[in-house]
Amino acid sequence: MSSRMTVPSGHTVIGHSVVRMSLDLRPWLYAGVLVCLVVSLGFVYLTQAGHVARQIEEMEVLELKLQRLKHQNSALLLEIAEYEQVGRIKQQARQLGFAEPEDVEYVVVHLDEAAPQPQDQMARANPENHESLSSVLMAAASPASWRQMLMGQFSDWMKVTAVPKDKR
Amino acid sequence: MSKASVPSQLYRRALVLATILLSVVVVVILRLAYWQLARNTPVPPGSASRQAFPPQRGNIFDCHGYLLAVATTVYDIGATPRNIPDKPLVADRLSGALGEPRDKILALLQQDGTHVPIKRGVSESVQKSIMEWGANMLQADPRPGRIYPEGTLAAHVLGFVTEDGTGHYGLEGHYQDPLAGRTGYRQESRDPLGSLLFEFLSARDGMDAYLTLDRNVQQVVEVGLADAVTMSGAKHGVTIVMDPATGAILAMASYPTYDPNTRIVADEQLFINEAVSDQYEPGSVFKIITMASALDAGAVAASNTYYDDGKITVGGRVLMNSDRLAHGQTSMYDLLAQSLNVGAAHLSTSLGALKFYQYLRRFGFGQLTGIDLEGEVSGHVRLPGDADWHESDLGTNSFGQGIAVTPLQMLCAVSAVANGGILMRPYMVARLLNGDQITEIQPQTLRRVVSSEAAKQTTEMMVYTVDNFTTTAGVPGYRVAGKSGTSEVPVPGGYDPEETIASFAGYVPADAPRFSILVVLDRPQKEHWGGRVAAPVFQKLARQLVALLGVPSTDARGQ
């Protein structure tokens, strides 16, 4: 397309030709930019619309799920409430042989130091067992005392076996 | 193309391009403006593109967490008659499942039309059993429902919810907004350019309410009250149990009652909670208030006596004892124990009208207690200066005549004496749960009404009353403080000579009360006196409640 020729002004025609060519391409360039812009906007728009549609669909699914769960939850609550009904519990209790208390007696328990402790009371009730019961209770406190108690019993047994025959 | 026209052409093209770009920008700006402004325009409810999400109503629990009211889904069962080939057979099966008369259902099925309603508010399990065999002939439309699993228990306290989701009476009415929650919605629409828009507001479920009410105590009270009304032939009865130290209501019952699930009543007056919405003349129970006021003001001392000649004139009106007898020199203890009207009038006149009515206001008479239940009334106290007040009211009011109070006001005032002279605001809801957020409702002290000394002396007199006169209210092993009342029933032009309102108020144990009880029986027929008809009800309830609540006996407490 370009041709070299000399003009009186000294300019070369090549420059004019380039300018003309660029001027001819510009509308296409603008159109291309415009098309790109429109396509971009359209893409953004369609993406957004699709995103919204997907969100709505997802929300519908979640809403249904939520409703179903709430529904199940309330049905379970109702079932619990039916099982917990006063009348039902009373009826079941009666069937199991329970009866409503007609009289309640309160027993006074003194817990001050001066008062006899339950362990002492047990021992007093059966003095013969005092030592053994106490030792068993004490022994239950820790493994070390268990071991100590067993060792003591063993040494006592050894002492007994060591007694001469004539002294028995 | 001339050389001169090239820049101008370039300029024109640039201008066109700029115009197009500017147009795009303007469109974007307009669209943004639309989003910002037009989308906030309220959308008419019920439009086709609007989907509503109803919130789930909050549940109601007693103080131990037992359900008293449950939000659930119920179903309205309907049928398409033309799709039913064998109508008698379907009527048979529906009758069995729904518990409705066969003939009634058959008549409905024989109607013309595409849809006939059969029964509303059917439970999930019944709906499932019906749909298993009738899915192509019947419809089950779900809707939010309310079920009260304990039936009539605490019906007057709870109230009920109608099919439109509105709470009425009691707690359902008072706490309508917090219990109901907020409806959510999703609104779909398109903008002028056809773009899809949506607006979403999530539903907020109602709060769960935990009450101060103990369903076991309520059960005991309701059974006791029903027996008492039936046995005495009374028209109505009210019983309230309160913790005097906090104002927490442990039980509140009215009889006759109703089932809030069905709400089938002959008279809608039955829905009214008489404990807070009805007023009555309290009679001699009111002498507790008169005595405590007189002791607090120093008008009399507990050790004082007065001379009872059987009548006293106040404001020109002669007032007499109910037994029409003169009791001579009488102690304050005997005044209360023998329920002497002359003595009570002696106390109120010693106080003077100004002070007497000041005390009444301090005890909360003539004002709302502020309980969180719908439909509370304030009662009526005529005050000096009112057009209808007469000087003789000073005398009659002292023994609970000519004054209108609610049962709850009366119990609150007696509980103030039990609580060492401090009046508490009665309340029913202990906490509200909104998801993880808990709102605790604390006991609220209203004011000191009398000194602790005056309250203690009054309590001793009430114990003396139960120990020596109204023994039908005593509980073995416990010091019980109480006072009976028998009031006349006001009718136009005076009082009904035949009818009475029998009542008893008291608390156990007297020195450190765990509960206070008021029993009111309206127009009992077999016995008319509070000491004979209401006191035994108190006794029966108190005996059961000390066992139920684990209240140690006086001996066990070392008193």
- Cα B135 to the chain's mean position, in Å? 42
Distance CA B559, CA B551 (A): 13
Q: Are B461 and B333 in contact (CB under 8 A)?
A: yes
Q: How does pLDDT run across B509-518, given as a tens digit for each residue?
A: 999 999 999 9
Among A21-25, B18-22, B182-186, B479-483, which is the least confidently predicted range?
Answer: A21-25
Amino acid at residue number B456:
K
3-state secondary structure of B303: coil
Mean pLDDT of all residues belonging to chain B: 91
Q: Is the pLDDT of residue B48 over 90?
A: no
Residue B265's nearest CA partner among B160, B164, B174 is B160
Q: Which tens digit of pLDDT belongs to each residue from B477-504?
A: 999 999 999 999 988 888 888 899 999 9
B-chain residues within 8 Å CB-CB of A23?
6, 9-10
Provide the H-helix boundaries in chain A: 13-83, 86-95, 118-125, 130-139, 143-161
CATH superfamily of B215-548: DD-peptidase/beta-lactamase superfamily (3.40.710.10)
Q: Per-residue pLDDT tens for B430-446?
A: 999 998 899 999 999 99
pLDDT recorded at residue B509: 96
Q: What is the pTM of this model?
A: 0.78
Residues in chain A: 168
- How far apart (Å, rounded) are the C-alpha atoms in residues B266 and A74? 31
For position B192, what pLDDT does the model report? Answer: 66
String of DSSP letters for B195-225: -EEEEEE--BPPPEEEES--HHHHHHHHHHH
ipTM for the predicted complex: 0.72
* Test the B interface: residue of A18, A70, A89 with most B CBs within 10 Å: A70
Read off the pLDDT of each residue in A65-81 and give the average, rounded to a whole number.
87
Is A99 near chain B, with CB under 8 Å? Answer: no
Q: What angle do CA B398, B402, B408 make, to 5 degrees?
A: 80
Contacts of B486 (CB under 8 A, 6+ apart): B283, B284, B322, B500, B501, B502, B503, B528, B529, B530, B531
DSSP B515: E
Q: Where are the domains of chain B?
A: 215-548
User: Could you tell me the two tokens for A117?
Assistant: 């402790």
CB B223 within 8 A of CB B246: no
> pLDDT tens, B96-146?
888 889 999 998 888 877 888 898 888 888 888 899 888 888 988 888 889
Q: Is the pLDDT of residue A162 over 70?
A: no
Which of the four pLDDT bands, split at 50, 70 and 90, describes residue A10?
A: very low
Element (H, E) at B518: strand B515-522
pLDDT score recorded for residue B24: 87
Helix or strand or coil: residue B322? coil
- Within a 10 A sphere around the Cβ of B418, how many other Cβ atoms? 31
Measure the CA–CA gap between B446 and B425, rounded to whole angstroms: 6
The pLDDT assigned to A50 comes to 83
Q: C-alpha angle B94/B74/B149, rounded to 5°?
A: 100
Percent above pLDDT 70 for chain B:
95
| Radius of gyration, alpha carbons of chain A | 52
Does the distance separating the beta carbons of A71 and B66 come in below 8 Å? no
Q: Do B70 and A77 touch (CB under 8 A)?
A: yes
pLDDT surpasses 90 at A118? no
Q: What is the pLDDT of residue A168?
A: 39
Question: CB–CB of A56 and B59 under 8 A?
Answer: no
Q: B452 Cβ partners below 8 Å, 6+ apart?
A: B420, B421
- Residues above pLDDT 90, as percent of chain B: 67
pLDDT at A126 over 50: no
What is the Cα–Cα distance from B190 to A53, expressed in whole angstroms?
Answer: 12
- Name the pLDDT band for B73 (thresholds 50, 70, 90): confident
DSSP code per residue over B231-279: HHT-SEEEEEEE-TTT-BEEEEEEES---TTT---S-GGGGS-HHHH--
Residues 28-57 on A with a CB inside 8 Å of B are: 30, 33-34, 37, 41, 45, 48-49, 52-53, 55-56
B15 touches chain A (CB under 8 A): no
Taking CA–CA distances from B540, the nearest residue in chain A reads A102
User: Which residue from A minimizes the CA distance to B22?
Assistant: A34
Chain B residues with CB under 8 Å of A26 CB are 10, 13
Give the three-class secondary structure for A111: coil
Q: Which residues contact B281 (CB under 8 A, 6 or more apart)?
A: B400, B401, B402, B403, B404, B405, B487, B488, B489, B490, B501
The mean pLDDT value for B139-154 works out to 90
Q: Strands B60-61 and B208-211: what pairing?
A: parallel
Environment class of A30 (CB within 10 Å of its CB; exposed 0-12, middle 13-18, buried 19+) = middle
Phi, psi values for residue B80, rounded to 5°: -110, 100
Cα angle, residue B483 at apex, residues B480 and B489 outer, rounded to 5°: 150
Chain A interface includes B147 (CB < 8 A): yes
Is the minimum CB–CB distance between B196 and chain A shorter than 8 Å?
yes
DSSP B333: H
Q: Which residues of B273-302 are buried (b: 16+ CB within 10 A; e: fewer)?
A: bbbbbbbbbbbbbbbbbbbbbbbbbebbeb
Confidence (pLDDT) at B554: 85
Find out whether B331 and B339 touch, Cβ atoms under 8 Å. no
Residues sharing a CB contact under 8 Å with residue B119, sequence separation 6 or more, in sequence order: B76, B77, B98, B100
Domain coordinates in residue numbering, chain A = 1-99, 118-163
Mean pLDDT check: name the lowest of B46-60, B141-155, B288-302: B46-60
Task: Count Cα atoms within 13 angstroms, Cβ side, for B541.
Answer: 37
A111 touches chain B (CB under 8 A): no
